[in-house]
Structure 1
């Protein structure tokens, strides 16, 4: 079956339309912005999604605006002039609205990193690390990190990027220093163990002292209680005797007063107590018994 010239033209037209349609559309991935170039001149910045452009004239280059990470291994030295190698990382982000300006000024992210960001990053790190001893960098890196971030942020002021964070990932020190650190730590651990042992001995001694003092206080309290009890009983007994004596004295005084005021009571008492017998008295030799026979009854 032969194909006519008209069919060929129609097929070519459809093919050209498809190519034209495909070249007039483009997409930008999420986390990026598109830089539209016309005859290699950056014209505009587009957001993620589907867009249209002039076919065969406009080209699009994407720039990532998500957080990027740079890692550098930098030879440096500590405050005590000890050589070391620091592995430091930097997280940074391009300002979304400034991506077009960054492309026009530096030609893209790779050029900006190699020409602007990395040299300043290395310089800020090497300026800060020699202010700290190796032990400080190992035990407390946060202060050095804060200083690196502050210095780098100041150096990049006016550039279309933001410093998110800086981290000292690793510190590589000479083997001799690591051995000395281990020896020092071992000695410190032994000293701490001896200090703990001494503290425990002091605690046990203090516990024995407290126990002895408690026993002494308990015995003293018991003795004081017994003494108080004996004293209270003696005072009660003395008071009872005193009260009894006062009562007897009062009775004697009352009886004496009664006898004084009424002499007949004496005679009455004698009569009540007489058993009806005359007194019997045995006198020795040469004695005489006198009786008053004239007394009246």
Structure 2
């Protein structure tokens, strides 16, 4: 065998070794990436083994899995917000459009059951229909006016009913917020007319009470004056009259300037100061 053939053979063998080495490294790297799963914060991991959901749920962190046999599906378990508007009927058959915001999260230890029973599209399949059903069931128990005046009570009942419905599918309800109730134009006009009538009735009532109070004040004043006159009449005696006459005569003497009155054709007036 010539030297050239020997060199070519050695080169081929070395190239083959490098190729095998690269393949081995690639396989090891592939096995390495397929052997571990990282679950991010706020998520849980659903383990599938040959397509079957496993009972173990992976929590945050690094986890080992069987390469090519097991698959890990991460699913978010943080609080999520669903906001929707639903139309329903009140007890008095008024059309009510309710805008509601719902905060909820998945049970981190039961996401495998949720995935097995519902899948990942649980908002469309479970949450939204449950909100609509709860709103319709509760609003039907109240009149349109009561939905406004008893808003906190309505909200509490919706939350209670919705909690029960969602918990069946391992969804935890955190809080709900009924943003607004919207009614028909006819109902809004009726409410406005009623408010105006109530305000007018209240004004009339206040005016009537004011007039009544004024009349009572006038009566009280007249009664007081009558009582004062009665008391004064009781106090007028002959002695009091005589005293007032003497006081009048004394006042006349005090004002006399010492001159006799110049009177003709009549008797001279005199003041009897000796009268007792």
Range class of TM-score, shorter chain: 0.5 to 0.7
CA RMSD between the two structures: 3.7
Cα deviations by residue, 1:133-169 (Å, 9 ceiling, x for unpaired)? 2122223311112222233334456542323233322
Q: Which residues of structure 2 form unaligned runs of 5+?
A: 1-10, 226-276
Structure 1 counterpart of 2:75:
63
Query: Map of 1:30-109 to 2, 5 A cutoff?
Result: 30-43=41-54, 44-108=56-120
The alignment partner of 1:79 has SS state of: coil
Cα deviations by residue, 1:57-83 (Å, 9 ceiling, x for unpaired)? 321111222223333322211222111
Distance 1:189 1:36, change over 3 A: same
Distance 1:23 1:201, change over 3 A: farther
Structure 2 counterpart of 1:18:
29
Taking the aligned partners of 2:191 and 2:107, their CA distance within structure 1 comes to 44
Taking the aligned partners of 1:17 and 1:156, their CA distance within structure 2 comes to 45
| Greater Cα offset, 192-201 or 88-97 | 192-201
The alignment partner of 2:140 has SS state of: helix
Name the larger-Rg structure.
1
The alignment partner of 1:149 has SS state of: helix
Distance 1:164 1:207, change over 3 A: farther
Q: TM-score, normalised by structure 1?
A: 0.58
Distance 1:206 1:63, change over 3 A: farther
Tell me how far 1:126 sits from its aligned partner: 0.9
Query: Map of 1:93-132 to 2, 5 A cutoff?
Result: 93-108=105-120, 110=121, 112-132=122-142
Tell me how far 1:31 sits from its aligned partner: 1.4
Matched, 1:146 2:146: no
Taking the aligned partners of 1:192 and 1:39, their CA distance within structure 2 comes to 76
Tell me how far 1:116 sits from its aligned partner: 4.0
Taking the aligned partners of 2:31 and 2:215, their CA distance within structure 1 comes to 97
Taking the aligned partners of 1:207 and 1:32, their CA distance within structure 2 comes to 77
Number of residue-to-residue matches in the alignment: 213
Taking the aligned partners of 1:20 and 1:10, their CA distance within structure 2 comes to 15
2:57 and 2:110 in contact (8 A); partners too: no
Q: Which residues of structure 1 form unaligned runs of 5+?
A: 217-297
Structure 1 counterpart of 2:268:
none
Taking the aligned partners of 1:195 and 1:13, their CA distance within structure 2 comes to 97
Taking the aligned partners of 2:190 and 2:48, their CA distance within structure 1 comes to 60
Cα deviations by residue, 1:196-248 (Å, 9 ceiling, x for unpaired)? 77778999999999xx9xxx9xxxxxxxxxxxxxxxxxxxxxxxxxxxxxxxx
Distance 1:66 1:196, change over 3 A: farther
